[in-house]
Chains A and B, each alone.
Chain A
């Protein structure tokens, strides 16, 4: 008897309720939007808010036409030394100043978000096991990946629309001089550039994650982002950087400065094509590979002695080591490049009285006629990076509890405070390793440039101290609730940066500026140490760990 496999009988029509749709339970797309709502609020709020604040700041700091002219001439005279700030075009206008000083900063925020979201959207579901349920529903794998990518594209689009709107609004509401208004075309051009370039790096992470796993995908894309940004910034100074800089959209779109009134729309086309191609590769690779396989290509394992099987400190180090090495590599290359070019840039500045005057006015507390002084100026940016490194290390420390394995660990003869302190010490060891690698890199760069290597190598310790202090804050919070420890550290990093950045620009009281720990760290790259800051870092690190251990002793585990 022949059996015919026909279509399944049609079920009664099912309508997804309005409530389900509203709460993001109506589709994979909606659920992904729901899951990314916090990240969207943070990214859009942060960038939109900063756009408004810095726009107001320029009108207060440079209120007259004369001061704007002076600002523009100073910025233009920087030339190649402008570095990662990019080309100085129409800096005397509100839009031109924001584009020059903060344009790339917005890109870093948007791109890091895109990298984290797109590298993790499928991997985190696979790790949690929910991907199998989704894949078993009546959707093909290609559609699942497409809906998830589309959700991120939607969130990114909304974010850049908010940033563009904030730029237009700033021009409309706070313009004080002719040329301050930011036309709709400029706002759209900036939003489009921001979204496309950020999605390029997110797409790179997404495509690589399908083959090598989330960590490698995110790591390589993050490295490409920072490398592209730095190499493009200094390509004019160091011509050897140019071929590498040309590999990323940072170089392709270098002439597209819409807030400054300079447009290069065709430069966005290759970025859009490359982004679409990377996303398509990621979708197709996911559709073709096994569900649940988090990486198609095996990455090498750590040598056995480094896996940390002897106890909590070793285990903590072993778990954190891949992340530590990834951060060390990225930060090390940055410090090496900065150290290598700082002497030639310092010499250029020293030879030009105009340039010297310019820098002196913008950065009055830095002696940039020396390699160390210039390096110190560059290294200020690295405080943000090591802060985020500390946040990721704290996140790893917290994962013992947030992932559920702490229950088994604490069923052994290991007291809770002991676990908190020993595994926290493992994080400090990871920070020491990271700092040591950065120190070696900065030493190599300085030596290659023929300048003093030992002083900046010792100065790198300040970065490690700052990271340790932040980790201490994370441990203290973790003693109360590990699930938010890393988020609090990241928030402290952002707040510290904003306080340090905006206090002078907005003429805020000195005590407010002093709230930023980075304002107490002196200029260690030239050997000027602030003992108060060093002590504050050490106290935060030690007390944070102790408070974390004390908190763990008092509360329930795993709740």
Chain B
């Protein structure tokens, strides 16, 4: 009888723990600050007066291992603000690491050198190239290269906003 009651308690506890699992699995956003190098600045769209209404800024995360390129497009105010920057500048950026409904983490650039940017969920022009390339060797000879797109421990340890899983 005691054994049966204990078994029931164990089963109920296991069921309760299973139901509570999703609570522990919630995906919280986190903000980071990083140093980047500006590698390209260009106007993507201009109005009839020649004023830039949309600008692209290409960034390289210089403190992160591998090749990480981020092309960020911003609107009117952002475009006017980033005009003060030039290619080769090393500046601070604010990032938000968040859960993407597609089933992985991603991050948005919220601010470049004091220029705030509001990410637009319909923006299809901004993109990231996050990869680590190394020589591909056969019989000891380098015959090409391989670039990995998956999470790498070394990268995510140094720059946690690149963590996807």
Does chain A bind chain B?
Answer: no
